[in-house]
Amino acid sequence: MGKFRDHFPDHDLSSISPEEVLSFLTSLNGTCKQLTKHTRYAYLKALFNFIRNNLDTQLQNPCDTPMLKKLFRPGKLAQWQIPEKETIDEIIFRTTKRRNRLMLELMARGGMRVGEVLKLAAMDVDDQKLTIKNPKSGKSAEVVFIPKKLAERLKDYLKARGAAGDQRIFPITYTAARVMVKKAGAMVGVHLRPHDLRRHAATYASRSGVPVEIVSKVILRHANLSTTQRYLGKVSDVEAVRWIENLYG
């Protein structure tokens, strides 16, 4: 909204045309994904609807045209392949470098984003509770909870490295972290990306009976449940049969 205001500093909102809206969104979006483009269009459309419904009933919403609706429709949501627990366990077991194994576990067991793992400092660790400063949500901080055994291994690693204060625990680049994850997946013949580990954490928790509210608010730290639903893996035929057998077999 701030960029919209700056783009049309002296405009009367009722004078803004669909062509001007298209020009603004095109310059703003660049190479963004279609879902991002749709979200920005939807925000702008909601702004004009709010003004029309509450301030000026004669206002024509410039976003409400067939052309813009078609250009900024959300598109089909991607279905990700979520690694099974056995695959993740094998990847972690076969990762012998201590640092790399801890990073993989924090993503796969704690649901952390790779950027959050890389920013983690020694002072952010408090037993099973990790503090994420300046998270993606825009909050000042968020909390991640990790299993006791992982917390103990992380504590031992910090002690061995002599890490303290605001010193980063894993001082490597984002690119290096992605390469590490890719190589870890290649050991068991799967194409693995950092976010696959986060999605696994959510899906495994959900399949294990954890309430979706806990998966969303505690593990993934999402603002709404609809975002969480996109992270949960598609139920395969094999898994469906296994659940039915557990229930009725």
Q: What is the CATH number of domain 85-248?
A: 1.10.443.10
Q: Give the count of beta carbons closer than 10 Å to the beta carbon of residue 148.
A: 9
Decide: helix, strand or coil at residue 186. Answer: helix
- The pTM of this model reads 0.66
Alpha-carbon distance of 90 to 110, in angstroms, equals 17
Max distance between CA atoms of the chain, in angstroms, equals: 70
Q: What tens-digit pLDDT sequence spans the chain (249 residues)?
A: 788 888 888 888 888 999 999 999 999 888 888 888 898 999 999 999 999 899 888 899 999 999 999 998 886 655 567 888 999 999 999 999 999 999 999 999 999 999 999 999 999 999 999 999 988 888 889 999 999 999 999 999 999 999 899 999 999 999 999 999 999 999 999 999 999 999 999 989 888 888 888 888 899 998 877 777 766 766 666 666 766 777 676
Q: Does residue 180 contact residue 100 with C-beta atoms inside 8 Å? A: yes
- Domain residues of the chain, as ranges? 2-71, 85-248
